[in-house]
A = this chain, B = another copy of it.
Amino acid sequence: MPAKGENTTDPNCEVRFGGVGGQGIVLAGRLLGKAAALYDGKDAVCTQSYGPEARGGASRSDVVIADEQVDYPFVSRADILAVFFQEAYVLFRDCLKPDGLLIVDTGLVQPFDDDPNLRGIPATEIAESLGSRMAANVVTLGYLVGLTGVVSEESVVKAIQSTLKARIVAMNLKAFDAGLQRAREDSSQ
């Protein structure tokens, strides 16, 4: 069953990545924001808030993408939530819109039974199979983009090429492709 949040044509999109330090969620947000704004011609704002919940360990990285200028960059009700850490999942799942898309790394997050529109991907496992556990964020980004089309694939490729150090570009392009491929497989089921 495809999630209602998929293949949306809504010009505004609020995306939250939730995890813990070191998982590269800020980078995932930046790549998405740059893809949207620098290469898809939209406007995007990436935000990292360090409030009380950050002191508890969970961290978040928010991206708001709009056709026009983003005037309120906080994600209040997410269209897409991708989480890599159980505590972040518990903390942030209520911010998802009723028809929003929830993506979890199935190796790291044990979702509740009643979450609608849930999609799981073993992102860390896939990244490890490609040679770098660190690329789980980009695997998930590929999955997210493949499911939703919120930004174009080509723009993410450009964002990866222009943002990451040269020596890790190839690995991350593979990770992105692996996520896209998994989305195609899941969508054709």
* A interface with B by C-beta (< 8 Å): 21, 26, 30, 33-34, 36-38, 43-51, 54-55, 69-70, 73-74, 162-163
How many copies, total? Answer: 2
Provide the residues of chain B in CB contact with A69, threshold 8 Å: 51
Bound form: Cα–Cα A44–B52 in Å: 10
A51–B46 touching, CB < 8 Å: no
Residues of the B chain whose Cβ atoms lie less than 8 Å from the Cβ of A38: 50, 54-55
Known contacts A38-B54, A74-B73; A45/B47 CB under 8 A:
yes
B48 near A46 with CB under 8 A, answer yes
User: How far is B21's CA from A34's CA once the two chains are assembled, in angstroms?
Assistant: 11
Name the residue of chain B whose CB is nearest to the CB of A41: B55
| C-alpha spacing A26/B26, complex, angstroms | 10
* Residues A33 and B50 in contact in the complex (CB < 8 Å), given A73-B73, A73-B74, A74-B73: yes
Are B47 and A51 in contact (CB-based, < 8 A)? no
Contact B43 A45 (CB under 8 A): no
